[in-house]
Amino acid sequence: MENDTLTIGGLEFTSRLFTGTGKFADDRRIADMLAASGSQLITVALRRIDLGGKSHNILDFIPKSVTLLPNTSGARTAAEAVRIARIAREAGCGPFIKIEVITDTKYLMPDNYETLAATETLAREGFVVLPYVLPDLPLAKRLEDAGAAAVMPLGAPIGSNRGLETAPLIALLIENCRVPVVVDAGIGRPSHAAAAMEMGADAVLVNTAIATAEYPVAMGRAFSLAVEAGRMAYLAKMAEESRTAQASSPLTGFLDPIEDIV
Amino acid sequence: MSFIDVVEQYEDFDVDGFLGQVTDRDVERALAKEKMEPMDFLALLSPTAAGHLEPMAQKARRLTVQYFGRTIQLFIPLYISNYCSNQCLYCGFNRTHAIERKTLTLEEIECEAQAIASTGMQHLLLLTGESLQATPMDYLEAAVRLLKRYFASVSIEIFPLDKADYRRLKTAGADGLTLYQETYDRSVYRQVHLAGRKADYRNRLDAPERGARAGFRAVNIGPLVGLGEKRHDVFMCGLHARYLDDRFLETEIGLSLPRINPAEGGYQPAHPADDRAFVQFLLALRLFMPRSALTVSTRERAGFRDRLIHLGVTRLSAGSCTGVGGYARPAERKTAQFEISDQRSVAQVAQAIAAQGYQPVYKDWDLIA
């Protein structure tokens, strides 16, 4: 458990809490949140970055030691996502890219088909691709084959804080994927994050729940502790669940020594 | 199907009778719902609901922070022409008014763009009077292309177009459409629009839907509060938003409640809304449409706008000039469409937003062609 690191795109992460930059009341709080949460990877929407440099640049508030995960938020097709990814790389945001292709503004569901197409193209171009998807096992396997560096299934709709509504489907991904599974979207409480980690998720990405908390820095710390606890519980191999009570001191336990003698 | 069917359906409905019978329990029941139905929304617009403003505000703030965070998107209007072929009683651009008329050349638009861009603004709303002669499609298309060189996002607030022309402007780079119905009451609409193409109620009513079909990413609608009976108009506007939101999953539906300000012609609104009523309407819209952008323009006073930030608003205009060519040449401000109430600069508005504990967002969107 001591050397429990997560490797994605050749980088090792000791923290399994990934964070986001959206919805903060003040971008200057992002650095404080990162410090408190220990998060080593943060996603940022390219559409929010002022490449012309006329207004303040959100990237100025992210320490160099933290890996940048630009996302393609705003893209509605694979082609748009690919273009955004290329611009992000040219703008110096590094090789990591979170594919986010969303066509509906009501539920903000990722379009799995366009996401797969974008992943195929960008993985070929050498990007470290992390696709945000609906948890669908056949799709996840195809993303793996396409060269995705991880898969990021949603727990519930973005920003909904509803937790792990898709847990049974995420469990299939965890059980069957060779690449890391990062639960993204919907996590509203530290207990949700802990539950995802207990299930065996490799990491979680949390934004709204931290950024819109009354005290985002404290909430970042709370999530950090929850992720750590959930991961440790997973590694410690939790006891099985049962529908009926299992006595800690079994009533027939006294028979065992006798059997030994016989 | 068109929204006209919904308008007609409610023309036979006794809105005032319903409003008069709303109880405190009805309001509380509506407030407890996650997804409100039209009658819940109407209950929140009732005089009875005026006694529940605080719980409405608390829930509106909670939902807004959840969906939008503590951020306020900034935008700035740019008027490129005040020629108009219409005769609208409440508008400074009314063709019978003896104001100085002007349409900017592309060179002048570029000067305006440079002056605005120097403030850091990245979201621009392009406006004209309603005159196809003064601002033909080729001109509008060229203007959008030019402005896209300076701004991340260009939206339009111009006369209603057909789907093909909307698509032309979208292809040129425009990504948002704003179009106010002014009033949903057909009889009042006839009374205040005396002449010109704008007198065609149905053409205007269906235009946001045409815009959504043409592929605009954002469509912003609203009534001009004060023209028709205000609760009726806000109710129909909410239904219009829900109608569009249910049909166009790819389009962000936004709302705004512009109130009538003094303008050339001295029109006095028949149904003015005071601040308390305005806040109630804004809150009801937020609760009915939790994910929709809510815009408040510089028609409202500075201090009042600052307070509205906590009540569900997500977009503010700033540093606005409603005169044609007024950014590069402040002397041109005499051609204004209406008087603005918040005279602060972009930087001052941004500062005020930050002082309220929110982040002013200059760039929230970029159309990457």
Query: ipTM score of the complex?
Result: 0.76
Nearest Cα residue to A44 out of A194, A152, A205, A222: A205
User: Which residue is closest to B67 within chain A, CA to CA?
Assistant: A159
CB contact under 8 A, A48 and B364: yes
> What is the pLDDT at residue A262?
46
Q: Which residue has the tokens 């979680």?
A: A204
Q: Nearest CB to A208: which of B66, B122, B252?
A: B66
Distance from CA of B342 to the nearest CA of A (A): 22
Answer yes or no: are the C-beta atoms of B102 and B78 closer than 8 Å.
no
What type of residue is B264?
A: E
Answer yes or no: are the C-beta atoms of B333 and B323 closer than 8 Å.
yes
Helix (H, G, I), strand (E, B) or coil at B258: coil
Q: Tell me the two tokens of residue B250.
A: 């790819």
Q: Residues A45-72: pLDDT tens digits?
A: 888 777 666 666 788 888 889 999 999 9
Q: Is A141 one of the catalytic residues?
A: no
> What is the pLDDT at residue B90?
86
The number of residues making up chain B comes to 369
A129 membership: H or E segment, kind and range: strand A128-133
More confidently predicted of B367 and A134: A134
Distance from CA of A52 to the nearest CA of B (A): 10
> What is the pLDDT at residue A9?
92
pLDDT over 60 at A258, yes or no: no
Task: Calculate the alpha carbon distances from B224 to B263, B278, B327 in Å.
Answer: 14, 12, 25
Longest dimension (CA), chain B: 60
Q: Tell me the two tokens of residue A141.
A: 């396997």
Task: Calculate the alpha carbon distances from A117 to A79, A123, A138, A169, A185 in Å.
Answer: 9, 10, 14, 22, 21
Q: Tell me the two tokens of residue A147.
A: 């060269």
- The predicted model gives A212-240 an average pLDDT of 93
> What is the pLDDT at residue B333?
61
DSSP-assigned letters across all residues of B231-245: HHHHHHHHHHHHHHH
- The predicted model gives A132-139 an average pLDDT of 96
Beta pairing partners, A7: A12
Q: What is the dihedral of CA B310, A105, A201, A62, to 10 degrees?
A: -50
Answer yes or no: are the C-beta atoms of B145 and B95 closer than 8 Å.
no
Q: Residues A193-210: pLDDT tens digits?
A: 999 999 999 999 999 999
Answer yes or no: are the C-beta atoms of B326 and B38 closer than 8 Å.
no
Answer yes or no: are the C-beta atoms of B145 and B126 closer than 8 Å.
no
Least confident of A32-36, A90-94, A133-137, B3-7: A90-94
Q: Are strands A17-20 and A203-206 parallel, antiparallel or unpaired?
A: parallel
Q: Are strands A128-133 and A152-153 parallel, antiparallel or unpaired?
A: parallel
User: Which residue is closest to A84 within chain B, CA to CA?
Assistant: B368
The chain B residues in contact with chain A (CB within 8 A) are: 65-71, 117, 120, 122, 152, 245, 249-253, 291, 354, 357-359, 361-366, 368
Task: Calculate the alpha carbon distances from A189 to A19, A192, B205, B225, B336 in Å.
Answer: 14, 5, 43, 41, 50
Report the alpha-carbon distance of residue B236 to residue B113 in Å, rounded.
Answer: 36
Q: What is the dihedral of CA B226, B245, B358, A155, to 10 degrees?
A: 160
Report the alpha-carbon distance of residue B292 to residue B314 in Å, rounded.
Answer: 9
Nearest Cα residue to A100 out of A91, A88, A112: A112
More confidently predicted of B363 and A173: A173
Answer yes or no: are the C-beta atoms of B272 and B253 closer than 8 Å.
no
Cβ-in-10-Å burial (0-12, 13-18, 19+) of A238 comes to: exposed
pTM of the model: 0.87
- The predicted model gives A180-191 an average pLDDT of 96
Q: Which residue has the tokens 């804080």?
A: A161
Q: Quick check: A189 contacting B, CB < 8 Å? A: no
Cβ-in-10-Å burial (0-12, 13-18, 19+) of B360 comes to: buried
In the predicted model, residues of chain B with pLDDT beneath 70 are: 263-264, 331-338, 367-369
Burial A182-192 (b: 16+ CB within 10 A, else e): bbbbbbbbbeb
Q: Tell me the two tokens of residue A133.
A: 């998807």
Question: What confidence category does residue A1 fall into, taking pLDDT thresholds of 50, 70 and 90?
Answer: low
pLDDT over 90 at A186, yes or no: yes
User: Which residue is closest to B293 within chain A, CA to CA?
Assistant: A105
Q: Which residue has the tokens 């569009």?
A: B244
Q: Residues A12-23: pLDDT tens digits?
A: 999 999 999 989
Nearest Cα residue to A134 out of A193, A190, A183, A198: A183
Report the alpha-carbon distance of residue B209 to residue B251 in Å, rounded.
Answer: 10
